Amino acid sequence: MIRGTRGCLPCLAPFSAASAPHQPHSRRSFQSGNMTSAQSQAKLSPSVAEAGDSLSSLPLFKPSLVIFDKDGTLVCFHTMWNSWCEQLASRMKEETTKEVSTELYSMLGYDQASKRVRMGMLAEKTHPYIMEKVVEMLMTEFKFNKEEATEVMDKTWKDTPENMQIKSTGNLGLLFKTLKEQDIKIAICTSDSREGTEEFLTKLGLESMVDLVLCGDDKDSISKPNPHNALFICEQLSVCPSKTIMVGDTPADTIMGQAANLGLTVGVLTGVGDNKDLSDADLIVPEVGDIIDLVTASEKSEMVPKVSKNMRITGRGLSKIVSQSSIDK
């Protein structure tokens, strides 16, 4: 059984988006200036060039579904959550008369000095999970008993920032419209609450283009990187996992994509994760709008993904290409 097919034998292309440019008819979309295909590959990654002709026999990859993470992927994480962290610390101080910000920020992964959220609980975990950990922190660091700590949590927690600021990471309207034109379904899988997620979709006018939303506090949700949410979304939308792309900014997203054997797992650099953090992705792109290049057909009759020179194929992605190539031979 080819990895990622999960019984969906008609869609035998767990990963070939990056390889498609090696098809003769797709060279136009891949080449830059007078560069040959091999030269273009070398510019992307020396490893891709080394893989050489082994990539040329791979089938084209036409996705049927793209699952997006929200915070850090579709919206600027820092704009939205910095004020939320500081508001929560302020409410807790008011409620307890204790300065809890140092311990709270450390636990959440918020750097007050730089006003940046780094890799940590806030970037990766659901609100119910974080609330549980904040209660534990109040008990261990500030000697509240469980009842007192839970009461503080209940009185001070809010799922969304006051006066929520939403700054998108790109032209999401264009991105979603392009996907819909290609008959590709769109899902959002986020650790954020349903309240905050629906507010985001409403404010940006994107609701009508999204086929399914799964939030951290939904009863059907199991926290990333468990593959459950990705597989649940595929099942709900009747799409084979191997025809699905996962896009996210943290290891929780990329590990979930791989654990669910999705066709392609893409990391984006607009959130908290850097190239090293996103090494479990197959492909790393500067921002979510680059997904358009992966799904835009350059010829009417065929889906030919284009790999831009600013995309980076990871070691994991490369080994997936090579293993797929050897299966195909």
Q: Interface with Mg ion by CB under 5 A: which range of 136-144, 230-238, 271-279, 298-306?
A: 271-279
Q: Is 216 in the site for Mg ion (CB under 5 A)?
A: no
Which amino acid makes up residue 97?
T
DSSP state of 263: S
3-state helix, strand, coil in the chain (%, to 5): 45, 10, 45
Q: Is 277 in the site for Mg ion (CB under 5 A)?
A: no
- Which residues in the chain belong to E strands, given as ranges? 65-68, 110-111, 116-117, 185-189, 212-214, 244-248, 264-268, 283-285, 312-313
State the nearest-atom distance from the C-beta of 284 to Mg ion, in Å.
Answer: 14
Q: How far apart are CA 287 and CA 171, in angstroms?
A: 10
Q: How far apart are CA 43 and CA 29, in angstroms?
A: 15
Q: Interface with Mg ion by CB under 5 A: which range of 126-134, 206-214, 242-250, 279-287?
A: 242-250
State the nearest-atom distance from the C-beta of 199 to Mg ion, in Å.
Answer: 17
Q: Interface with Mg ion by CB under 5 A: which range of 9-17, 128-136, 176-184, 244-252?
A: 244-252
Residues 6+ apart with CB under 8 A from 116: 78, 82, 110
CB 298 within 8 A of CB 306: yes
State the nearest-atom distance from the C-beta of 204 to Mg ion, in Å.
Answer: 16
Q: Is 71 in the site for Mg ion (CB under 5 A)?
A: yes
Helices (H), 125-193: 127-142, 146-156, 172-181
State the nearest-atom distance from the C-beta of 103 to Mg ion, in Å.
Answer: 23
193 vs 324, beta carbon nearer Mg ion: 193
Q: Is 249 in the site for Mg ion (CB under 5 A)?
A: yes
Between 92 and 121, how does the x/- string for binding to Mg ion read (CB under 5 A)?
------------------------------
For the chain, the straight-line distance linking the first and the last C-alpha, in angstroms and rounded, comes to 15
State the nearest-atom distance from the C-beta of 252 to Mg ion, in Å.
Answer: 7
State the nearest-atom distance from the C-beta of 245 to Mg ion, in Å.
Answer: 16
Picking from 140, 148, 61, the residue whose alpha carbon sits closest to that of residue 104 is: 140
Q: Residue 282 corresponds to which tokens in the numbers above?
A: 């197959």
62 vs 70, beta carbon nearer Mg ion: 70
Q: Residue 32 corresponds to which tokens in the numbers above?
A: 């830059």
Q: Interface with Mg ion by CB under 5 A: which range of 24-32, 52-60, 263-271, 293-301?
A: 263-271
Q: Residue 186 corresponds to which tokens in the numbers above?
A: 């769109």
State the nearest-atom distance from the C-beta of 190 to Mg ion, in Å.
Answer: 7
Rounded to 5 degrees, φ, ψ at 144 are -80, 150
Using Cβ positions, the residue closest to Mg ion within the complex turns out to be: 72
Applying CB under 5 A, among 72, 120, 161, 196 the residue interacting with Mg ion is 72
State the nearest-atom distance from the C-beta of 282 to Mg ion, in Å.
Answer: 18
Applying CB under 5 A, among 11, 69, 187, 243 the residue interacting with Mg ion is 69
CB 63 within 8 A of CB 245: yes
Between 282 and 311, how does the x/- string for binding to Mg ion read (CB under 5 A)?
------------------------------
Q: Interface with Mg ion by CB under 5 A: which range of 37-45, 177-185, 241-249, 259-267?
A: 241-249
State the nearest-atom distance from the C-beta of 278 to Mg ion, in Å.
Answer: 11
Q: Is 217 in the site for Mg ion (CB under 5 A)?
A: no
216 vs 271, beta carbon nearer Mg ion: 271
The residue with tokens 């799409």 is: 239
CB 324 within 8 A of CB 15: yes
Residues forming the site for Mg ion (CB under 5 A): 69, 71-72, 249, 271
